[in-house]
Amino acid sequence: MPHIGSRIVSLTLCGDNSSTPGQLTLFLSRFWSLGTIFIKLQSFTLIDFIKMDVQLLLPKLLMLTHLRCLSIGEYKRLMPFTINTNELFNEDVILPISLRSLAFPYEISNEWIQTSSTKESFVEQLHAHFIHMNSLPFLLQKFPYLKHLTAVLVDVNNDNLQMENVLQASVKFHALRYLNVNIMQQVSRRSLFSKDVQRIIF
């Protein structure tokens, strides 16, 4: 691997929630300095993760100065599926500024917006696992170049007209063109489920 690392542009690894637990830990123990080995890495994917896997990986990501795509979790498979909120990040996370596509297990709330140190992001495609509806306008301010957003929305008022007004106000002066959302219908303390899937294209 050290001999070909400089030519690798994409990596996919499994976390501890997979059939090969310990893979990520072993990989990082062998290649602890990702930035000096994978100098051309543009895409990194982590599947079947637990939160501890992501916490282990995060300090290494800043070394990857050419990373354009970071995918953590099965973001292409939207609801219905279980979301364990204990596995989500609702705190500030520093990621490479080079990113243009990001899938990250965020729980985005007003608290997340207020504590986030990221003043501006160049991300154009984002999947956030869990967004509180009233935080959507502030999220779009944090990601002014965002064109494609995929997410699960919660705390949505049953008044569809009010929701539509919020969405229109959020994107009126924004680059967003594609919004693919699941709207939560049932809520429990540890896991959240959706009955309905709604897709809105601008």
Residues 63 and 81 in one domain: no
pTM confidence score: 0.81
Domains in the chain: how many in total?
2
Residues 159 and 195 in one domain: yes
**Is 124 domain-assigned?**
yes
**Is 101 domain-assigned?**
no
**Is 84 domain-assigned?**
yes
**Is 188 domain-assigned?**
yes
Residues 41 and 133 in one domain: no
95 within 8 A of 65, measured Cβ to Cβ: no
**Is 72 domain-assigned?**
no
Helix 51-61 / helix 23-30 crossing angle, nearest 10 deg: 20
Residues 33 and 83 in one domain: no
What is the Cα–Cα distance from 134 to 145, expressed in whole angstroms? 20
By C-alpha distance, which of 144, 137, 145, 93 is closest to 115?
93
**Is 103 domain-assigned?**
no
Residues 79-108 pLDDT 10s: 545 677 888 998 888 899 999 999 999 999
- Give every residue of the chain whose pLDDT is below 50, as ranges: 80, 160-161, 186-202
Residues 133 and 50 in one domain: no
pLDDT over 90, % of the chain: 41
What is the Cα–Cα distance from 98 to 43, expressed in whole angstroms? 11
The residue range of the domain holding 29 is: 1-67
Residues 83 and 170 in one domain: yes
Residues 12-25 pLDDT 10s: 999 999 998 999 99
